[in-house]
């Protein structure tokens, strides 16, 4: 199992901004010796999860993930459902909407839609959404096992704006509030001058599977708009939850009234 953990650790260092990594650099990032790193890479290459650029000799993610992604989408079509729901949510709120699923250390955007208007919040779907710094992350943690939150708070908590909360005790308070309210409203936490309102959508066991959110420029935020967004995000959560066979939490369900 330790070898599997090391392999997963290596894979997490590949990002859209760093798609190729040399052996020495990858070993350094993963805090492994070069021989161990090479052995893991060779094993991953046999199953096409890693490939080597024959010119630069750097490593990159392979095509093996495409097969698994297709199997996942064919058996649990969350991406198609999320895209339909996000399109609807952006249309009814006239703001940017996005949906995400849980990754090992952050949420990953699987669908997003910006409205056709002058000033909007732009979403980079390749950028992970930190659990502690985003409305989606706090909402996700609020409706999961406490150990999920504990693990998230053991990570290095990045500071994305001057308002990003990195104090573990303060983050725990935010998570508790989100659980009681059924949603979380975050301002300036991940991007300056942006407010985001998020709720989870749920698995069959009642735990959060991911999050659905609306992001708006802080200058457009008003009590009336927040009330409208809250009601529609709750409806969007219900749509996705029902589609994947989940059970909507009462704290979210009551927000649709």
Closest to 151 measured CA to CA, from 162, 140, 135, 160: 140
φ/ψ of residue 59, rounded to 5: -105, 150
Instruction: Give me the tens of pLDDT residue by residue for the chain, a chain 257 residues long.
Output: 578 888 888 888 887 778 899 999 999 998 999 999 999 999 999 998 999 998 899 999 988 888 787 776 666 678 889 999 999 999 999 999 999 999 878 999 999 999 999 899 999 998 899 999 999 999 999 999 999 999 999 988 999 999 999 999 999 999 999 999 999 999 999 999 999 999 999 999 999 999 999 999 999 999 999 999 999 999 999 999 999 889 999 999 999 87
Residue 71 and residue 79: Cα distance in Å, rounded?
Answer: 12
pTM tops 0.85, yes or no: no
Structure token pair of residue 34: 């070069």
pLDDT at 75: 66
CA 165 centroid distance within chain: 18
């Amino acid at each position: 199992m330790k070898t599997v953990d090391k392999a997963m650790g290596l894979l997490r260092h590949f990002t859209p901004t760093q798609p190729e990594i040399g052996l020495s650099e990858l070993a350094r990032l993963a805090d492994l010796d070069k021989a161990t790193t090479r052995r893991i890479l060779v094993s991953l290459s046999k199953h096409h999860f890693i490939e080597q650029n024959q010119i630069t000799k750097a490593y990159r993610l392979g095509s093996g993930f495409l097969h698994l992604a297709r199997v996942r989408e064919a058996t649990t079509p969350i991406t198609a459902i999320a895209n339909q729901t996000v399109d609807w949510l952006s249309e009814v709120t006239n703001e940017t909407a996005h949906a995400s699923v849980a990754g090992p250390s952050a949420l990953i955007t699987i669908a997003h839609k910006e409205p056709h208007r002058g000033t909007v919040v732009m979403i980079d779907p390749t950028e992970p959404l930190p659990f502690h710094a985003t409305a989606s992350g706090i909402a996700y943690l609020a409706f999961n096992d406490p150990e999920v939150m504990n693990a998230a708070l053991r990570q290095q908590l990045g500071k994305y704006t001057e308002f990003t909360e990195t104090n573990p005790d303060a983050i725990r308070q935010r998570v508790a509030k989100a659980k009681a309210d059924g949603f979380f409203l975050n301002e300036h936490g991940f991007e300056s001058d942006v407010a985001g309102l998020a709720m989870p959508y749920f698995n069959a066991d009642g735990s959060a599977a991911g999050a659905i959110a609306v992001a708006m420029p802080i200058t457009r935020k008003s009590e009336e708009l927040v009330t409208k967004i809250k009601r529609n995000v709750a409806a969007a959560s219900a749509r996705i939850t029902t589609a994947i066979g989940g059970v909507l939490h009462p704290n979210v369900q009551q927000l649709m009234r």
